[in-house]
C-alpha cells in the first residue's frame, strides 16, 4: 500500500513536470506623449519629447512614410522607422525600443489660407523590448500640428508640436 502511494506520488510529480508551463501575459505600459517635430521631409518626420505615465521619460521617433498627399486618404502610409523611450522599468534605467511595421498619416485640417495644419499619426509597432531586443508590440498615436504663417506671400511652417499616446507590451 505504501509502495502504491509512493508510485502514485512520483507519477504525479513527473506529470506535473511534463505539463506545459502557463504563459504569463506581458504587461502593457501606456504613456501620454508631448513634444515637437524637429525635422521633416515629404517622406519622413522626426519627433522628440517627454512621456508621462507608466514609463515616464524622454522619447524619440522617426516615422518614414510614403509621400504626403493632402487630398488622399490616407494622406500617407507609414513604411518604417523607430521609437525609443529612455525610462526606468522598476528602478532599472532602460531604453525601450520598437520599429514601425505599419500605420497611417491622415490630414485632419489641411490649413486653408495658411492656417495651422493638423495630422493624425497612427503607427503600429513591432519588435518592442528593451535595449533593441524584443518581440513585443505597441501603438504610437499622436496629433501633429504644423504652425504656419504667411510671410511675404509664402506660407511658412515655423514650428510643429505632437501630443498623443504610446502604448507598448513587452
Phi-psi region of 114 (alpha: psi -120 to 50; beta: other; left: phi over 0): left
Does 136 have pLDDT greater than 80?
A: yes
Nearest by Cα to 63 from 49, 42, 85? 42
Q: pTM of the full predicted structure?
A: 0.85
Structural domains of the chain, with CATH: 26-169 (2.40.160)
The CA distances from residue 143 to 17, 47, 133, 164, in Å, are: 50, 12, 28, 6
State residue 57's pLDDT score. 98
Write phi, then psi, for 166 (nearest 5 degrees): -125, 125
Q: What is the mean pLDDT of the chain?
A: 90
Model confidence pLDDT, tens digit, residues 97-106: 999 999 999 9
Amino acid at each position: 500500500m505504501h509502495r502504491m502511494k509512493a508510485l502514485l506520488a512520483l507519477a504525479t510529480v513527473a506529470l506535473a513536470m511534463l505539463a506545459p508551463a502557463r504563459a504569463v501575459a506581458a504587461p502593457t505600459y501606456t504613456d501620454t506623449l508631448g513634444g515637437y517635430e524637429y525635422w521633416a521631409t515629404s517622406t519622413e518626420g522626426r519627433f522628440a519629447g517627454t512621456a508621462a505615465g507608466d514609463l515616464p521619460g524622454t522619447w524619440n521617433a522617426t516615422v518614414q512614410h510614403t509621400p504626403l498627399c493632402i487630398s488622399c486618404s490616407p494622406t500617407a502610409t507609414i513604411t518604417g522607422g523607430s521609437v525609443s523611450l529612455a525610462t526606468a522599468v522598476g528602478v532599472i534605467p532602460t531604453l525601450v525600443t520598437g520599429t514601425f511595421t505599419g500605420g497611417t498619416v491622415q490630414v485632419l485640417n489641411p490649413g486653408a489660407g495658411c492656417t495651422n495644419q493638423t495630422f493624425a499619426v497612427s503607427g503600429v509597432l513591432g519588435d518592442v523590448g528593451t535595449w533593441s531586443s524584443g518581440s513585443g508590440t505597441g501603438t504610437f498615436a499622436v496629433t501633429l500640428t504644423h504652425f504656419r504663417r504667411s510671410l511675404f506671400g509664402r506660407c511658412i511652417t515655423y514650428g510643429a508640436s505632437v501630443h498623443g499616446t504610446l502604448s507598448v507590451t513587452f
